[in-house]
Homo-oligomer: A and B are copies of this chain.
Amino acid sequence: MLKLTRVFIKVVELGSFSKAAKVLNMAPSSITRCIDKLESELGVTLLKRSTRQLLLTDKGHVFLKGSNKLVADSDYLLMSLSNQNTEPEGSLRISTFESFGRLNICPLIPEFLDRYPKINIEIELDNKMVDLWVENIDLAIRIGIPEDSSLKSRKLLSNYTCICASPGYLSKHDNIEQPQDLSMHNCLLLNQQRQRIYWYLKNSHQNVKVAVSGNLKSKGGTPLLEAALQGLGVVQLANWMVTDFVKHGDLVVCLKDWEPLLNESSNGNIYAIYKDNPYPNPNIRLFIDYLIDKTHNKKINED
């Protein structure tokens, strides 16, 4: 029942069975069955379902409120069994991609360690894909959800991007008025896992995919940002990286009527990834909750 309740909460949170299925690494049909079973056990209808939207019933609202508390109490109980009202302590090994770690995670660590001085954090900023099991990483911060079913993920924030260049670059090169124009520009390319050769954009009535190329590639955004600031080319970077530069006029957003995506279907979200371990290090949850709290309250340059 508690597992079913967790599924229900995730479904409501994402407003979709299939989205919840992705996050929970389950098939959509299993989500359907879980909600069916929960409704059957409770004897009430929780959701008015359609393929396009889910609506909470009145009883669904009542149950959601109570179930959030139930799950929180359960989590707390589990945690109190491991910590026994002691001050959180122990180690936490974190891997995060460089730019996000440097700009958004590292600044949050001192306050966390002030709050929990007995916790030791080991953090690596690098842009290679790490195997959490092999390298014994407790927590990785990544864009997108890994397909590895032995890992769990929790969304930290969305990862909106924009395509921008410096005023200097734009004054010396052809105008960029539509996506295809990017082909004629030096595009600074983010390498992730495989070589990126397309940028994807969408607006209100179409999605396009543009073949792009350029003379600078990097797995992380930092070198690309620096190159763009110096007028080397056009770059697609996350808003949390470039917002301040845009504000100061060091970078100009191009193709404002289009939303750039990170792959064919989405702009990618940033997730906390951790091992699906029946005996998890409680500091993992502690740090994730801390991050969620910080990201939700501060809106780390998400939009």
A278 touches B77 (CB 8 A): no
B82 touches A63 (CB 8 A): no
Q: Residue A70 at the B interface, CB < 8 A?
A: yes
- In angstroms, Cα B86 to Cα A58, docked, is 14
Q: Residue A59 at the B interface, CB < 8 A?
A: yes
A67 touches B62 (CB 8 A): no
Stretch at the interface among A39-47, A156-164, A255-263: A39-47
- In angstroms, Cα B69 to Cα A80, docked, is 14
Q: By the criterion of a CB under 8 Å from any partner CB, how many residues of chain A are at the interface?
A: 27
Q: Residue A108 at the B interface, CB < 8 A?
A: no
Residues of B within 8 A of A70 (CB): 70, 73-74, 77
Residues of B within 8 A of A279 (CB): 43, 66
Residues of B within 8 A of A40 (CB): 278
Q: How far is the CB of A126 from chain B (nearest CB, A)?
A: 28
- In angstroms, Cα B6 to Cα A29, docked, is 29
- List which A9-59 residues lie within 8 A (CB) of chain B: 40-44, 58-59
Q: Residue A106 at the B interface, CB < 8 A?
A: no
Q: Residue A134 at the B interface, CB < 8 A?
A: no
B82 touches A62 (CB 8 A): no
B69 touches A278 (CB 8 A): yes
Q: Considering the complex, give the chain B residue whose CB is closest to the CB of A63.
A: B81
Query: Number of copies of this chain in the oligomer?
Result: 2
Q: Residue A78 at the B interface, CB < 8 A?
A: yes
Q: Considering the complex, give the chain B residue whose CB is closest to the CB of A59.
A: B81
Residues of B within 8 A of A76 (CB): 66
Residues of B within 8 A of A81 (CB): 42-44, 59, 62-63
- List which A155-184 residues lie within 8 A (CB) of chain B: none
Residues of B within 8 A of A62 (CB): 77, 80-81, 84
Residues of B within 8 A of A73 (CB): 66, 69-70, 73
Q: How far is the CB of A190 from chain B (nearest CB, A)?
A: 34
- In angstroms, Cα B62 to Cα A279, docked, is 13
- List which A58-105 residues lie within 8 A (CB) of chain B: 58-59, 62-63, 66-67, 69-70, 73-74, 76-78, 80-82, 84
Q: Which 6 interchain pairs have the tightest Cβ spacing?
A: A66-B77, A43-B279, A1-B2, A2-B2, A44-B81, A70-B73
